[in-house]
Amino acid sequence: MPVFEELSKSTSFGGRQLTLSHDSTSTGTRMKLSVYVPPAAERAPVPCVFWLSGLTCTEENFTVKAGAQRMASELGLIVVAPDTSPRGEGVANDDAYDLGQGAGFYVDATAAPWTPHFKMYSYVTEELPALIREAFPVRPGALGVMGHSMGGHGALTVAMRNPELFKSVSAFSPIVAPSQVPWGQKAFTAYLGEDQAAWKAHDACELVRERGFPTQILVDQGDADGFLEEQLQTWRLVDACKEAGQSAKIRMQPGYDHSYFFIATFIDDHLRHHARILG
């Protein structure tokens, strides 16, 4: 594991829960991530799933709150959770929680002052997959991606743009149409500029209509989620999948909100979805 510095290591369900850091060539900063390595990976290469977190998160939120380790151990899945943006003193930031550090939106920024470091699209689609394959026994061709909220947007969009890399995709409470809602409009204006044509390449509903995804998309959304009406607008994805003939299981879950309590309730279903497709 030469490229990664090991910051912490704990045994969990017979596997290893690691916190790592490395110098990223994409962001030009030190990046942190967490990696769960199941016991099966000590014997043979196994599938791997990336988790992309939401606004304000680091690599830690999912790792300590989702309770994914038990099922990842049982199914034999490596699970990788990167930080949500570059960070540090020389890195642009904003006082608001939904822009800047902790809010990278999984795009490569083309506008000042974000462009030198905010390259989360390249990070999660190029650099990180290569580094993970080098350091861990990932079965070739068996990589999936899932995420929450901003990270649900990230999972859906990076998967649809890179179906040769990501073979399975799922999301919790995703921002399905960032071009149409305040969180997305604010971030895309800042990172990509005013030209909305550039936004379409990072909008899940646009991508479903334009190209779709080869395997079934799984989405869980709580109907008591305070962000549903204004920011998430799940019905737009339902409509886009129907129009495009995209195979999708989009489940409205009664009584659930936007929190990691919701994610922890259904994370096993998502891990099973990825394990089934990745084989």
Ligand X SMILES: N[C@@H](CCC(=O)N[C@@H](CSC=O)C(=O)NCC(=O)O)C(=O)O
Tokens at 60, concatenated = 């830690």
Q: Decide: 154 and 105 in contact? Cβ < 8 Å.
A: yes
Angle at 14 between CA 13 and CA 19, to 5 degrees: 80
Q: Can you tell me which of 17, 19, 24, 149 binds ligand X, judged by CB under 6 A?
A: 149
Stretch that binds ligand X, among 57-65, 86-94, 121-129, 242-250 (CB under 6 A): 57-65
75 versus 124: smaller Cβ distance to ligand X:
124
- Closest-CA residue to 278 (of 50, 18, 1, 14): 50
Between CA 52 and CA 105 the distance in angstroms is: 10
85 versus 215: smaller Cβ distance to ligand X:
85
* Using rule CB under 6 A, residue 55 touches ligand X: yes
* Using rule CB under 6 A, residue 85 touches ligand X: no
* Using rule CB under 6 A, residue 52 touches ligand X: no
* Using rule CB under 6 A, residue 18 touches ligand X: no
* Using rule CB under 6 A, residue 232 touches ligand X: no
Helix (H) or strand (E) holding 219: strand 217-222
Q: In 53-150, where do the E strands start and end?
A: 78-82, 138-148
Smallest distance, ligand X to C-beta of residue 103, A: 8
Smallest distance, ligand X to C-beta of residue 151, A: 7
Task: For residue 258, indicate whether it is catalytic.
Answer: yes
CA 86 to chain centre: 15
List of residues 6+ apart from 61 with CB closer than 8 A: 53, 260
Task: For residue 98, indicate whether it is catalytic.
Answer: no
Tell me which of 225, 270, 273, 274 is the catalytic residue.
225
* Using rule CB under 6 A, residue 56 touches ligand X: yes
* Using rule CB under 6 A, residue 61 touches ligand X: yes
- Closest-CA residue to 58 (of 104, 12, 13): 104
40 versus 204: smaller Cβ distance to ligand X:
204
Interface positions with ligand X (CB under 6 A): 54-57, 61, 65, 97, 148-150, 258-260
